[in-house]
Amino acid sequence: MNIKPLGDRVLVEPVQAKEEKKGGIIIPDTAKEKPQEGKVIAVGTGKIDDEGKKVPFNVKKGDKVLMPKYGGTEVKVEDKTYQILREDDILAIIG
């Protein structure tokens, strides 16, 4: 089964952040708005700009990203949970 997000939306699989000693990203529990790690599964059909051209995505399939935990819409496909959110809501790419 295949999910193609619409417009500037992105399908992301949340990744449980491991509490590593060094090099890992640990989301502080006290943060007002908790970000969440995830992996981009699919980018959308693309946003159209004022001149009718498609705006390229900054993220691509496979990218690891930081996103707000409660900013998108949760869907379940084949027992896995994903998030569909607009690309502009993604905070950063983790490399």
Minimum distance between the CB of residue 11 and a copy of itself, rounded to whole angstroms?
A: 7
CA gyration radius, the chain: 14
Contact between 5 and a copy of itself (CB under 8 A)? yes
22 three-state secondary structure: coil
Contact between 61 and a copy of itself (CB under 8 A)? no
Stretch 14-53: interaction string toward a copy of itself, x if CB under 8 A: --------xxxxxxx--xxx-x--------xx--xxxxxx
Cα(88)–Cα(49) distance, integer angstroms: 14
Cα(93)–Cα(58) distance, integer angstroms: 9
Instruction: Say how many Å lie between the first and final Cα of the chain, rounded.
Output: 28
Cα(45)–Cα(4) distance, integer angstroms: 7
Contact between 60 and a copy of itself (CB under 8 A)? no
> Site residues (CB under 8 A) for a copy of itself?
1-7, 9, 11, 22-28, 31-33, 35, 44-45, 48-53, 55, 58-59, 65-66, 68, 70, 73-79, 81, 84, 87-88, 90-95
